[in-house]
């Protein structure tokens, strides 16, 4: 049986809960035309503004907490925030709506609140005194009670179910707990109002400072310098630090205070390791953290995908990519940041996860997809990639995996430029396309006899064609370059050369139901495919799903092993726990401990080897069709 007040009344509304803010807006609009009763409208306006500021406060702190390029060495708990925690904390902002409703009820009881002045100095003094004398001890006592057997099991355990504290975790409480929290934050405000010292500025300042300190305690980033407490020892009892509150989450019998450790000292619940751990973390912030075993070197795809990272919107980044209308207003900001990154920036850390004791990180080259096609930008992009490789080499990274356009043949020969320039690299440079080819081939039915291949002379197209011809599959290779076609054809064993056929027009595939698309094709070109055709593809962005009488495959991808830890973001176009096949190829390279570089042309003989290694380590193909690759 569910404990009383442990669930929210709007729990089943999902995102529609924000409609409950509608009456506030309606009241504001109504009172603009009814000047005789404008007080309620003004009060509702203040509530909406305060709610918006509070939401912005928590979102900003969460974004900062996930800016790993700034905070990676200051993190208290080193593990990542996974999908499970993100889903649990999805409705973290319920308390803001609850307190808005409660504020309206208070106004109905005390209508004089509508006539508060903007400023009252005495109000600031009074609200601080009331907070220290009432709110702090009230929270301390109730918090200890919530750690009792019944209350913890039925209420407070929800808050502690988040393994890595984040600002959103502060709002991850049951309805009953937030009613108590509303009392804690409401007593000083109501007290100063009844005392006649209230003002608009006092209410705004107190509420926002309350939220700021809640975010500070749950941010999992130690930003309070230990020198502050050493210079002014009494401050350590006046203001807690993120380390102090994190200790409460790891050792729950200690550090119960709201913001002031003084009450833990008085209640004999102060963790003796608080200051020592705080000092150590503060000092270690200037040192490099753990060296990753594997780095996936990505780049920004476009403006909308730039919003699809954890440090922008954590919840959005945890879901498969879609273009949401609500995010379109942020595009101008993204455009400005793109120009700033273009002018002055360097490769930065985006995300990480752990796999079998190995730390895997994703770094990003600060360039957008369209910039890779600007001739004058090529040298600068290659410089960024080269610097990232050399940095990984200095750190001791074992494998660095070039993603998407970072391994473009026209840009750097699929990574050969860097390997040839720096022959003594200890880090292995990998493009991962051997597994990409294997994943594409895995989707092709075993009994197929003919395929149509666009992008036929590309790195992937060549490997796919050479592999399929050995299986006696007739490959119609679309290319206008006879020279390139003949070069690839000569690579095939003599007895299989006849299975490679050059075609120069899409009409040549009018009777072929298996299309492998490696070059973006428009709806007109798709129209030449017969009804019932299936479009396999390795082209970015994916082709438009124009034909309703045909089927379309997704980009080559692999699902990471089930024991992956701390994964909380989705790769562009991929589902949860799924990565692009080239990323998976780098993971396999790392797990196998291979010592060769995987750059340039794909070694067709290794396609089966890499595929078997991927399956051995628990990576799974996203497609479930019958396999052509021998296992």
The string of pLDDT tens digits covering residues 302-340 is 888 898 999 999 999 999 988 888 888 999 999 999 999
pLDDT at position 629 is 46
- Helix (H) / strand (E) element for 109: namely helix 94-109
Q: Is 509 helix (H, G, I), strand (E, B) or coil?
A: helix
Whether the CB-CB separation of 80 and 164 falls below 8 Å is answered with yes
Q: Is the pTM of this model over 0.95?
A: no
pLDDT, one tens digit per residue, over 93-127 is 999 999 999 999 998 888 888 788 999 999 999 99
Cα–Cα distance, 534 to 509 (Å, whole number)? 12
CA distances from 88 to 172, 424, 438 (A): 8, 47, 36
pLDDT at position 37 is 62
User: Residue 534: beta bridge partners?
Assistant: 514, 551
pLDDT at position 630 is 45
User: Residue 477: beta bridge partners?
Assistant: 453, 502
pLDDT at position 139 is 98
Widest distance between CA atoms in the chain: 96
Cα–Cα distance, 434 to 604 (Å, whole number)? 8
b/e per residue 99-137 (b: at least 16 CB within 10 A):
bbebbbeebeeeeebeebeeebeebbebbeebbbeebbb
Count of positions (residues) in the chain: 631
Least Cα distance to 167 among 240, 85, 63 occurs for: 63
pLDDT block averages, 10 residues each, the chain of length 631: 89 92 87 68 91 97 96 94 96 96 89 86 96 97 96 96 96 97 96 93 97 97 93 95 96 95 97 93 85 96 89 92 86 93 92 96 95 94 97 97 92 95 97 95 91 94 96 96 95 96 95 94 93 91 89 92 95 91 96 96 95 96 53 41
SS3 per residue for 334-393: HHHHHHHHHHCCCCEEEEEEEECCEEEEEEEEEEEHHHHHCHHHHHHHHHHHHHHHHHHH
Least Cα distance to 330 among 305, 349, 361, 353 occurs for: 305
b/e per residue 375-403 (b: at least 16 CB within 10 A):
eeebeebbebbeebbebbbeeebbbbbbb
Q: Is 429 helix (H, G, I), strand (E, B) or coil?
A: strand
**502 φ, ψ (degrees, to nearest 5):** -80, 130
Cα–Cα distance, 193 to 393 (Å, whole number)? 62
Least Cα distance to 100 among 212, 15, 25 occurs for: 25
**549 φ, ψ (degrees, to nearest 5):** -95, 10
């Amino acid at each position: 049986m569910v404990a009383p007040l442990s669930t929210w009344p709007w729990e089943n509304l999902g995102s529609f809960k924000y409609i409950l803010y509608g009456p506030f807006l309606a009241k504001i609009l109504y009172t603009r035309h009814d000047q005789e009763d404008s007080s309620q409208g003004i009060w509702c306006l203040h509530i909406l503004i305060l709610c918006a500021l509070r939401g912005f406060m928590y979102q900003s702190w969460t974004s900062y907490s996930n800016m790993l390029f700034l905070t990676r060495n200051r993190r208290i708990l080193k593990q990542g925030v996974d999908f499970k925690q993100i889903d649990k904390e999805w409705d973290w902002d319920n308390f803001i709506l609850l307190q808005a409703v409660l504020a309206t009820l208070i106004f109905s009881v005390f209508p004089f609140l509508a006539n508060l002045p903007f400023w009252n100095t005495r109000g600031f003094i009074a609200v601080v005194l009331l907070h220290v004398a009432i709110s702090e001890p009230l929270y301390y006592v109730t918090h200890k009670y919530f750690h009792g057997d019944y209350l913890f099991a039925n209420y407070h355990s929800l808050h502690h179910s988040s393994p890595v504290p984040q600002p959103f975790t502060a709002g991850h409480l049951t309805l009953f707990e937030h009613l108590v929290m509303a009392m804690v934050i409401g007593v000083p405000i109501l007290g100063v109002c009844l005392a006649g010292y209230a003002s608009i500025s006092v209410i705004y300042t107190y509420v926002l400072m309350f939220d700021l300190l809640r975010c500070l305690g749950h941010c999992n980033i130690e930003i309070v310098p230990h020198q502050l407490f050493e210079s002014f020892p009494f401050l350590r009892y006046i203001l807690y630090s993120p380390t102090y509150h994190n200790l409460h989450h790891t050792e729950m019998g200690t550090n119960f205070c709201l913001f002031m450790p003084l009450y833990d000292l008085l209640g004999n619940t102060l963790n003796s390791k608080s200051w020592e751990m705080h000092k150590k973390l503060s000092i270690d912030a200037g040192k490099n953290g753990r060296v990753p075993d594997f780095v996936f070197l990505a780049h920004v795809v476009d403006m909308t995908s730039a919003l699809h990272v954890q440090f922008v919107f954590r919840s959005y980044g945890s879901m498969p990519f879609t273009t949401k209308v609500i995010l379109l207003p942020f595009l101008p900001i993204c455009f400005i940041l793109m120009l700033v990154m273009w002018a002055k920036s360097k490769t930065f850390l985006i995300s990480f996860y752990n796999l079998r004791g190995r730390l895997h990180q994703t770094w990003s080259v600060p360039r957008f997809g369209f910039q890779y096609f600007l001739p004058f930008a090529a040298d600068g992009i290659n410089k960024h990639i080269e610097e990232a490789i050399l940095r990984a080499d200095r750190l001791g990274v074992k494998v660095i995996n070039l993603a998407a356009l970072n391994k473009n043949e026209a840009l750097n020969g699929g990574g050969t430029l860097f390997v040839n320039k720096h022959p003594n690299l200890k880090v292995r440079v990998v493009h991962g396309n051997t597994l990409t080819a294997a994943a594409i081939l895995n989707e092709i039915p075993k009994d197929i006899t003919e395929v149509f291949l666009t992008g036929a002379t590309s790195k992937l197209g060549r490997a796919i064609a050479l592999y399929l011809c050995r299986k006696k599959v007739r490959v119609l290779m679309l290319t206008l370059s006879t020279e390139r076609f003949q070069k690839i054809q000569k690579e095939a064993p003599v007895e299989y050369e006849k299975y490679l056929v050059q075609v120069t027009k899409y009409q040549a595939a009018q009777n072929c139901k298996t299309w492998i698309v490696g070059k973006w094709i428009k709806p007109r070109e798709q129209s030449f495919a017969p009804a019932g055709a299936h479009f396999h593809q390795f082209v970015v962005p994916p082709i438009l799903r124009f034909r309703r009488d045909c089927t379309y495959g997704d980009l080559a991808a692999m699902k990471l092993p089930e024991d992956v830890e701390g994964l909380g973001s989705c790769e562009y176009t991929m589902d949860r726990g799924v990565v692009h096949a080239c990323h998976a190829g780098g993971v396999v390279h790392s797990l196998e401990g291979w010592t060769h570089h995987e750059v340039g042309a794909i070694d067709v003989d290794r396609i089966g080897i890499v595929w078997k290694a991927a399956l051995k380590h628990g990576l799974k193909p996203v497609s479930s069709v019958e396999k052509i690759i021998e296992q």
